[in-house]
A and B are shown apart, each in its own frame.
Chain A
């Protein structure tokens, strides 16, 4: 299987490049992070498919990603928004089996930050999720395969 292991610096760098290559993101997110802090921390919480949590910080502004990195904490001082969900739900979203906005609206994904801003720019966030799902990824093996 070809791909980049999820949770590594290489994966984060690949995501940054994917975002900056994406005309969908550039157009849909042209107003994201303009006049407000658009940096997002994605919190991949522990569940049977992920023994230790992962936190991905992405610095986003005006249709560009300036930085993407996995970080330590459950929070990040530069983040304007934090999206928290169990890893299995994230994986469903990245594999386009669940819509991120639906997960937010049904409360399955928890939002820290102005939820309305996030929902108003649904296209920007859909494009970001698409970029994230477009990185060729080797996900952590499920427990039965370990």
Chain B
């Protein structure tokens, strides 16, 4: 074992460790569903290290898994007997261009760290995820969605250029204009064709303050109507919403009594503003019909970006951060989203959401041009996610309910968001990507001919595909 490590170590500047030296936390991810141990752990110091590790893996017949902050929940960011590239060591912010409004960062940079550097400059990436302790390379590989996505699409849509080490071990610079095929297969491509070592991210100027209106709805359809009004009005910089349970007692569900809830729909609409130019509340809220306006909060913009950190801290202190996270997220057609809510929420036990929540985000389909971020057709879309934290002993009990929610969402025209818990059959994977399945297989074959990158999740076996007769 150490022979392999020593051999690899001779070509790599960063740390190289044996299976026995792998920290426990790197054998699972945020999902806490799957566990596996890599044969070799590599903490690269440069893109050359990544390329060397990939070339070594090809020579030795090993697979390579990439891991950012390990926030995925399925079999991503994990290696079972191969090389695990812990990308967090590629954490340098290489440069910020204030005129061109771009930042060049290595793939393992945390969004929160980038934001800290941008704060004195009054700049920020257009789209930020709720959890800022995730890496640039990680979220770009799944798309990256946030409360400004209804305006700016995914984080992947806000990338200008990437350096990628392909499964062949070749380092390639690519963009929307250059080596486009590779670029597009890396954005939301689940790490199947290459490893992101550098990203040039677009930035925007932010105003120093935010005002958030905490609107509450007691009717899902009315909330969705107003969410569309808010999106179309062009008044808002950030839109965030949930389905929030108010437990009412117990009722039988399939003969077993369980706690049931009346569901409410908090809708947080946020506008950025300059000091001394206070927002016009009445004008902003005109046309919206909440059941109640609970609170109006003024917050410095960079604090707004980190607004969920106290919630995550609470979850960590409460122990639920270590529970099973089988987040079941999907993007729904606008037309069927209310039906999905009405089918799922009445029987969803609120207790499943201790340390979690139900997301419900309005979105615009045309804001994204990502090829492999699969979403339903249509102008208006709804992001819906059941984000539970399940004590491990109840996981098997909860699993059928989440599987059912996933299948129901898909039957109603939804597409799963793939950073969460996904357990598709081979046929379901094909259905998920639809007409993009064959292009993805072709890209895999082209850029990762030995199919060594990130196995165990999406079943893209390029070698088998290559052996199939061409049609």
Chain B contact-residue range equals: 10 to 19
A120 near B254: Cβ-Cβ < 8 Å: no
Given A23-B252, A123-B253, A130-B254, do A106 and B339 touch, yes or no (CB 8 Å)?
A: no
Residue of A nearest to B336 (CB): A116
A28 CA / B260 CA spacing, docked (Å): 12
Tell which of B63-71, B196-204, B288-296, B342-350 binds the partner: B342-350
* Chain A residues closer than 8 Å to B369, beta-carbon distance: none
A99 near B404: Cβ-Cβ < 8 Å: yes
Q: Which of B227-279 contact A (CB under 8 A)?
A: 251-255
A-B contact pairs, 5 of them (CB 8 A): A105-B404, A122-B408, A123-B347, A126-B254, A130-B255
Name A residues whose Cβ lies closer than 8 Å to a Cβ of B: 23-24, 27-28, 96, 99, 101-102, 105-106, 115-116, 119-123, 126-127, 129-130, 133-134
Q: Is B400 an interface residue (CB 8 A)?
A: yes
B140 CB → nearest A CB, Å:
32
Cβ contacts B329-348/A at 8 Å (1 or 0 each): 00000001001001110110
Given A24-B251, A102-B400, do A123 and B346 touch, yes or no (CB 8 Å)?
A: yes
Which of A102, A119, A130 is B403 in contact with, Cβ under 8 Å?
A: A102
Q: Is B5 an interface residue (CB 8 A)?
A: no
* Chain A residues closer than 8 Å to B344, beta-carbon distance: 122
A60 CA / B339 CA spacing, docked (Å): 21
A116 near B412: Cβ-Cβ < 8 Å: yes
Which A-B residue pairs are the 7 nearest by beta carbons? Answer: A105-B407, A24-B252, A130-B255, A120-B339, A122-B343, A130-B254, A126-B254
* Chain B residues closer than 8 Å to A130, beta-carbon distance: 252, 254-255
Given A96-B254, A123-B346, A130-B254, 5 more contacts at CB 8 Å?
A102-B403, A115-B411, A116-B336, A116-B411, A123-B253
A101 CA / B347 CA spacing, docked (Å): 14
A106 CA / B408 CA spacing, docked (Å): 10
Residue of A nearest to B346 (CB): A123
Given A24-B252, A116-B339, do A122 and B347 touch, yes or no (CB 8 Å)?
A: yes
Which of A99, A120, A134 is B342 in contact with, Cβ under 8 Å?
A: A120
Residue of A nearest to B338 (CB): A120
